[in-house]
Structure 1
Amino acid sequence: PEAAVASKPAVVENCATTIEANDQMQYNADSITVPASCTSFTINLKHTGTMGANVMGHNVVVAAQSDMEGIDQDGAGVTPDHVKADDARVIAHTKVIGGGESTSVTFDPAKIKAGGPYKFFCSFPGHMTLMQGSIQVQ
């Protein structure tokens, strides 16, 4: 029998969601479903850990799954947010935050309606493998 994949959908209310990230390199959600009625959507990111942004910083980047590797590689070491400036592949991204901090980004869901699949992920070097999830409009 196939192993059950633990799914942790983000709670979405009023065209927004809050995702938590921690010192164990984990988000508390692995999928975000944006209601089709939303004309803008906000992802709030809360770092529940205690480590600094320079050691265990987290952000949220929204992009096509096929663009993740390139965005991650090109942004590695580009401080402070580990996203290359004006990277056209990036649909939206927050700044990198450390323990106890919060940030948010708002974007137009129309940008993730066609094509895809789309993902959200952390572009802090080495984090993408563990910190990613799907995002779609439904």
Structure 2
Amino acid sequence: MRNLIIVLSVAVGLISCGKETQKETVSQEVEQQVINEISNQIELKGTDDMKFDKSEFTVKAGEEVTLKFTNAGVLPIETMGHNVVVLEKDADVKTFATASAKAKATNYISDLYITDIIAQTKLLGPGESETIKFTLKEEGEYTYICTFPGHWIAMKGVIKAVK
């Protein structure tokens, strides 16, 4: 009986070690996949159903980011224009977006919160593209939105800046 207990204890120990090794391997693979997905070259599209085709990017902090944005829709700019505005980490997104939605004369970018903007594209019509360059100096999460009235609720995402 004592030998059976010893054998079972050793078996449980080996199985546990095997699972830990397996977990470590999976964890390392996931970490490598995340590292491979870091890119400072971003392509983003906006559509007529008021969505960005991607809601998250990971970039290297302190290095220049190139973002190419395309309005992939077909509806006219007056009813379905899109832009991309990258905001500072501490920006109040709702306040910024609400104020900007009232700023038709300045393509839906409010002068009241201009210091909250890191980078922005112009308001684009169907089939138009624009490329912007900017640097996220610190690690953290930066929200990007479309400021056309009402769009920011669905058209937003996060750029994660990592070292």
User: Structure 1 residues 78-87 or 18-27, which shifts more?
Assistant: 78-87
1:2-81 matches, cutoff 5 A: 13=39, 15-36=40-61, 39-63=63-87, 64=89, 66-79=91-104, 80-81=106-107
CA distance in 2, matches of 1:72, 1:124: 9
- Identity rate of aligned residues, in percent? 28
| Cα distance in 1, alignment partners of residues 59 and 132 from structure 2 | 14
Q: Verify the 8 A CA contact 2:47 2:71 in the aligned structure 1.
A: yes
Indicate the residue corresponding to 1:84 in structure 2: 110
Moved over 6 A (4+): none
CA distance change for structure 1 residues 33 and 103 in 2, over 3 Å: closer, same or farther? same
- For 1:44 and 1:12, the matched residues in 2 are separated by 16
Q: CA deviation at 1:44?
A: 0.9
Q: Which amino acid aligns with 2:153?
A: T
In the TM superposition, what is the alpha-carbon distance from 1:104 to its structure 2 partner?
2.2
Pair member with larger Rg:
2
Indicate the residue corresponding to 2:129 in structure 1.
102
Letter in 2 for 1:109: L
Aligned partner letter, 1:57: G
Give the count of matched residue pairs: 123
**Within 2, Cα distance between the matches of 1:124 and 1:78?**
9
1: CA distance, partners of 2:108 / 2:85: 10
Q: Decide which moves more: 47-56 or 71-80.
A: 71-80
Task: Tell which deviates more after alignment, 64-73 or 26-35.
Answer: 64-73
- TM-score norm. by structure 2 comes to 0.68
**Given the two structures, how large is their TM-score scaled by the length of structure 1?**
0.79
Q: Which amino acid in 1 is paired with 2:161?
A: V
Flag structure 1 segments of 5+ consecutive residues without an equivalent: 1-10
